[in-house]
Amino acid sequence: MSTPSKVFVAGATGLLGSQIISSLLDQGAPVRAMVRPGADAEKRGALTALRSRGLEVVEGDITDPIEQLAASIGDAATVVSAVQGGPDVIVDGQANLARAAAKAGAGRFIPSDFAVDVTKLDDGDNFMIDWRRRAATEYADAGLEVVSVLNGAFYEVMVGFMGLVDWDRGTLSHWGDPDQPLDMTSVPDTAAYTAAVALDPEATGTLRFAGEVLSMRQFHDAVQRGSGRTLELRRLGTADELRAEIERQAALTQNPFDYIALQYQWCMVTGKGKFDALDNARYPRITPTSVTDFVRAASPTA
Ligand SMILES: NC(=O)c1ccc[n+]([C@@H]2O[C@H](COP(=O)([O-])OP(=O)(O)OC[C@H]3O[C@@H](n4cnc5c(N)ncnc54)[C@H](OP(=O)(O)O)[C@@H]3O)[C@@H](O)[C@H]2O)c1
């Protein structure tokens, strides 16, 4: 079997980026990871430890001058971005990275999308997704193939950041129709699909993956089964009432991150960001974990 071509990963110290690197190395791919000069010592150390598995580590920032960034990318055939940040990073930084990748001779760019179906949303639905669509128009003419990977919501986010589950009160709260199907995938499975796409020269366009497609009612069952806990399923209101709640909060704060979790929920519970079809079958080797198993593994007493 021939050696896969080299993959450059930006966002290497991040939650998703670090797991994309592990998945790529597991598949025998040569990987070059970019780490910011000021990156956390522990995260940098974890990457350094992967050098024995063939990982190259370079210092840099996706906002570096193009010539410098292109030199960092070197002979990589595919550039994967798993960065997170504001518009300076997601729009300007990623456009810069895509242009540097093209300059270095890389043929493909996988941007840091990793969300619900960004192509179906409108400006104002979710400000972080707005940045990703703006970025896409910026790097559309960068001179390389852009392949977008979408995964719905991370399981980790569904049971954590979204604020749906309150273990102390024993509740699982949600907005909208409890029977609306929702796309969701664990971080490791999203990383595995991203690595598979990065190493698949035939992959083009937007690819959509989900570990599971569950309604809130089914998600509630899965969380109860996995945790061994009984949780009261509470409906907070309709999807329209959720939109009104987002607008109410937006009027009260200067910081849109205060209501971003609600914007992600709105995109999901309305069905607006729902995938029409999945590309899981393209990579049958990947068998994503279920929400039940994910929650069971995270609940040692279950
Ligand atoms: N679908 C979902 O439910 C979901 C949930 C969470 C995240 N995501 C998506 O997954 C992607 C990755 O998120 P994450 O949670 O893994 O992010 P994260 O843990 O916050 O990591 C972000 C990474 O970006 C790097 N970075 C930031 N600015 C940079 C710059 N200017 N140059 C180079 N590197 C830079 C950071 O480096 P430092 O270590 O130096 O700061 C870090 O490695 C994002 O697109 C995010 O929206 C999706």
How far, in Å, is the centroid of ligand 1 from the Cα of 153?
Answer: 15
Q: Quote the CA–CA distance of 47 and 57 in Å, as a whole number.
A: 8
Which residue ranges in the chain fall short of pLDDT 50? Answer: none
Structure confidence at residue 289 (pLDDT): 98
Nearest to 79 by CA among 112, 56, 117: 112
Residue 267, ligand 1, Cβ within 6 A: no
The pLDDT tens digits for 257-296 are: 999 999 999 999 999 999 999 999 999 999 999 999 999 9
Pocket flag, ligand 1, residue 249 (CB < 6 Å): no
Q: Is the CB of 111 under 6 A from ligand 1?
A: no
Residue nearest to atom 40 of ligand 1 (CA): 39
What is the reported pLDDT for 198? 98
From CA 10, how far away is CA 17, in angstroms rounded?
A: 7
Residue 103 backbone phi and psi in degrees, to 5: -65, -35
What local confidence, expressed as pLDDT, does residue 16 receive? 97
Verify whether ligand 1 is closer than 6 Å to residue 268 (CB atom). Answer: no
Q: Closest ligand 1 atom, CA of 83?
A: 24
Which atom of ligand 1 is least distant from the CA of 93?
A: 31
Structural domains in the chain, sorted by start: 7-150+186-209+275-281 (3.40.50.720)
Ligand 1 neighbour 83 (Cβ under 6 A): yes
Q: How far is the CA of 272 from the centre of ligand 1 (A)?
A: 24
**Ligand 1 centroid distance, CA of 295 (Å):** 23
pLDDT at 76 (0 to 100): 97
Q: Which of 8, 9, 16 to mutate to test the pocket of ligand 1 (most atoms within 8 A of CB)?
A: 16
Is residue 89 lining ligand 1, measured as CB closer than 6 Å?
yes
So what's the pLDDT on residue 168?
A: 96
